[in-house]
């Protein structure tokens, strides 16, 4: 923890003006510097991995090991208010362009650190903010001059997309970036084929489903057209259907279950047998059964079977030959589906149902009475296949051609979790070119050229803003220093050689991590979308200027504390922690969270780094 003693000084209640502005700004600077130093090791093609232990993640899951900044920033737990601004800036970068998050986090820390040093030297914070905004405007123009427009619609454009994907992917001992880059380009190409020249070119990367399965090699990763569902067809039912009419059901095909007095309640609090709807529980239906003589038991079974037939018969006779049910399916229903030749898949995840809804044109039905042919979807072929010992159901030739699926293979879930983050960053980077087909050189060439031009620009500013613009240039040069260090190169020698190359007019000179040398980035194929770099500089500057303006801290007594101090709440035992738990809003769900580990048990996996003295540690 950075400057833990100082951070702990912030109390639950703090009136304005009690803490000096210098102390608040110093604390904010140190928090920003800590985040900057944290993300420096992950930038570049050979960035290191960061391990976040279980206690530092937002969810009770296994330790997170990743070199992808977006994966790290989504899972990182924080408490300091300054960290919230930093995390929001990184998430904004990730939501808008999906890549460049490490650059944002590093630049914020460096800009705030240099702004604090200027403040201590006597430069007013408003001058620092104006100078940073002026420098950002100049950098925007520099980027546009360095950008090259490329045609991505022809065969030569495919090579450009491939290079962009390889630049976004990290290189590692288990990662064959050429194969992954081919998968990324093929997936984005699939989504772009149905879009005409006059149509909006925005590509929604979320249309590409990613299924991760351990037990194979990374080079077995494949792209598939259509939707792939990680489920298998129920026993003895058709596993290959052509001209499929698809029904999506969001209700159980199960016997109605009565409430029974005295039955042990589930952890959910519902006194009925647990249902299997992708991890959720249906609970008891709203009727009771009272048996007082033997004949009642027979009547109960007959009525139960009749109710079940009233549920099953409309589904079997509706005309659909492929049924995808989000809930469980009782074994008693299978003979009727088998006789009718209907493919049936149970426990389909809601996300998969929604993808099938978009791809096939079907509508999710929540009640059997709403099931009709106009709610059906269509697929040219639905078949079950085996990949690496696991069975999947493939929906091919769907009306909506944008649907695609990538099945990632890896030796372990640790490997897969790292690859998924890199793959998503590459997908976003390639997709950006279909909205703005301008590219810039990678390998920190943009940062060095911008710093070179900024220093020339600063000489013509006859005010203290000259110092601020120079500080902005110095902050930009931390990117090539970090990349050089991660690639095993000398930071000072690399930076001085880069400066010399750019001074001589080679604005495309950057760091080639594979060769450990200074090369022309366009010649070696290290290129990035202009939109990613531009958004990174904008996000970092906006967050840094907002941080620099903070010079006071006011912590007001919360409504929770006031309620906890009330005499009636104290009598009732309503403590502050209990009230906070009741009022806690639901956590924001990010798209594409952690992988689900199969060793799920009643209590979450424990970190191997947690000590017995930790209050969250429990012996097995």
pLDDT per residue as tens digits for the range 57-116: 444 445 777 888 888 888 777 777 788 888 888 888 888 888 899 999 999 999 999 999
Residue with tokens 């699926």: 405
* Cα angle 476-477-481, degrees, rounded to a multiple of 5: 135
State the DSSP H helix or E strand holding residue 115, giving kind and residue range, or none if neither: helix 101-120
The domain limits of the chain are 4-148+440-548, 169-226+404-436, 227-396
Cα-Cα end-to-end distance for the chain = 29
pLDDT per residue as tens digits for the range 480-524: 999 999 999 999 999 999 999 999 999 999 999 888 999 999 999
Which carries the bigger pLDDT value, residue 611 or residue 7?
Answer: 611
Spatial separation of the C-alpha atoms in residues 254 and 333, rounded to whole Å: 8
According to DSSP, the β-strands at 517-520 and 322-325 are: unpaired
pLDDT per residue as tens digits for the range 202-223: 788 888 888 887 777 777 888 8
- The 10 Å Cβ neighbour count of residue 595 is 17
pLDDT tier for residue 587 given thresholds of 50, 70 and 90: very low
Residue with tokens 């998503």: 424
pLDDT tier for residue 287 given thresholds of 50, 70 and 90: low
361: left (phi over 0), alpha (psi -120 to 50) or beta: left
Contact 8, 539 (CB under 8 A): no
pLDDT tier for residue 197 given thresholds of 50, 70 and 90: low
Question: Among the ranges 255-259, 275-279, 384-388, which has the highest mean pLDDT value?
Answer: 384-388
Classify domain 4-148+440-548 at the CATH superfamily level. Answer: GroEL-like equatorial domain (1.10.560.10)
Which carries the bigger pLDDT value, residue 57 or residue 403?
Answer: 403
Spatial separation of the C-alpha atoms in residues 611 and 591, rounded to whole Å: 32
Query: Residue 82 has what pLDDT?
Result: 82
Pick the CATH number of 169-226+404-436 from 3.10.450.50, 3.20.20.70, 3.40.50.10310, 3.30.260.10: 3.30.260.10
Q: Where are the strands (E) in 121-265, listed by range? A: 148-149, 208-214, 222-225, 227-229, 240-249
What number is the average pLDDT over the span 341-362? 92
Q: Which residues pair with 555 in a beta bridge?
A: 14
Residue 10: burial class (beta carbons within 10 Å; 0-12, 13-18, 19+): middle
Residue 457 three-state SS: helix
| Residue 140: partners with Cβ closer than 8 Å, 6 or more residues away | 534, 537
Which carries the bigger pLDDT value, residue 389 or residue 164?
Answer: 164
According to DSSP, the β-strands at 240-249 and 377-387 are: antiparallel
pLDDT tier for residue 379 given thresholds of 50, 70 and 90: very high
In CATH terms, the fold of domain 227-396 is GroEL (3.50.7)
| Residue 298: partners with Cβ closer than 8 Å, 6 or more residues away | none
pLDDT at 272 over 50: no
Q: Which residues pair with 52 in a beta bridge?
A: 64
Q: Six-digit token pair at 80?
A: 């300091």
Contact 458, 469 (CB under 8 A): yes
Question: Among the ranges 15-19, 369-373, 610-614, which has the highest mean pLDDT value?
Answer: 369-373
Q: Which residues pair with 408 in a beta bridge?
A: 212
Spatial separation of the C-alpha atoms in residues 96 and 285, rounded to whole Å: 44
């Amino acid at each position: 923890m950075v400057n833990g003693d100082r951070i702990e000084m912030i109390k639950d209640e703090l009136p304005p003006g009690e803490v000096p502005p210098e102390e608040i700004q110093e604390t904010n600077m140190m928090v920003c510097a800590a985040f900057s130093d944290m993300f420096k090791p992950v930038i570049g093609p050979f960035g290191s991995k960061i391990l976040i232990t279980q206690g530092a993640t937002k969810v009770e899951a296994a330790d997170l090991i990743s070199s992808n900044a977006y994966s790290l920033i989504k899972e990182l737990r924080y408490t300091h208010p300054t960290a919230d601004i930093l995390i929001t800036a990184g998430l904004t970068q990730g939501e808008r362009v999906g890549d460049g998050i490490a650059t944002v986090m590093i630049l914020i820390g460096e800009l705030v650190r240099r702004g604090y040093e200027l403040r201590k030297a006597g430069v007013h914070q408003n001058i620092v903010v104006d100078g940073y905004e002026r420098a950002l405007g100049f950098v925007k123009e520099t980027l546009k001059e360095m950008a090259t427009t490329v045609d991505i619609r022809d065969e030569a454009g495919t090579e450009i997309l491939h290079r962009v994907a390889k630049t976004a992917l990290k290189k590692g001992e288990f990662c064959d970036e050429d194969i992954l880059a081919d998968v990324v380009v093929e997936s984005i190409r699939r989504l772009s084929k149905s879009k005409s020249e006059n149509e909006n070119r925005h590509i929604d990367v979320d249309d590409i489903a990613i299924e991760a399965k351990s037990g194979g090699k990374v080079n077995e990763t494949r792209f598939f057209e259509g939707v792939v569902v990680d489920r298998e067809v129920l026993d003895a039912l058709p596993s290959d259907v052509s001209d499929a009419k698809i029904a999506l059901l969001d209700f159980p095909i199960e016997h109605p279950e009565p409430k029974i007095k005295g039955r042990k309640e589930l952890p959910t609090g519902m006194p009925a047998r647990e249902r299997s709807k992708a991890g959720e529980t249906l609970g008891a239906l709203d009727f009771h059964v009272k048996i007082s003589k033997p004949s009642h038991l027979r009547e109960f079974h007959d009525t139960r079977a009749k109710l079940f037939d009233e549920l099953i018969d409309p589904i079997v006779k509706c005309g659909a030959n492929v049924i995808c049910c989000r809930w469980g399916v009782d074994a008693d229903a299978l003979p009727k589906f088998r006789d009718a030749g209907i493919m049936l898949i149970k426990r389909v995840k809601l996300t998969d149902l929604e993808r099938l809804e978009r791809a096939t044109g079907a509508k999710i039905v929540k009640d059997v009475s709403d099931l009709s042919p106009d709610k059906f979807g269509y697929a040219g072929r639905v078949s079950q296949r085996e990949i690496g010992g696991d069975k999947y159901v493939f929906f091919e030739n769907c009306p909506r051609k944008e649907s695609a699926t990538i099945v990632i293979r890896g030796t372990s879930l640790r490997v897969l979790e790292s690859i998924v983050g890199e793959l998503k960053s590459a997908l976003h980077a390639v997709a950006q070119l279909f909205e703005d087909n301008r590219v810039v050189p990678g390998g920190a060439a943009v940062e060095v050229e911008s710093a070179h031009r900024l220093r020339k620009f600063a000489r013509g500013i006859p005010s203290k803003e000259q110092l601020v613009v120079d500080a902005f240039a110095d902050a930009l040069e931390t990117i090539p220093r970090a990349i050089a260090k991660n690639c095993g190169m000398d930071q000072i020698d690399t930076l001085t050689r880069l400066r010399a190359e750019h001074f001589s007019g080679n604005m495309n000179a950057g760091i080639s991590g594979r060769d450990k040398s200074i090369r022309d980035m366009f010649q070696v194929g290290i290129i990035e979308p202009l939109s990613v770099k531009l958004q990174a500089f904008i996000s970092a500057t906006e967050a840094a200027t907002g941080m620099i303006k903070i010079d006071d801290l006011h912590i007001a007594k919360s409504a929770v504390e006031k309620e906890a101090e009330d005499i009636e709440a104290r009598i009732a035992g309503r403590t502050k922690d209990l009230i906070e738990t009741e009022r806690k809003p639901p956590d924001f769900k990010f798209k594409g969270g952690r992988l689900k580990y199969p060793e799920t048990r009643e209590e979450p996996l424990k970190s191997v780094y947690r000590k017995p003295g930790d209050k969250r540690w429990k012996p097995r």
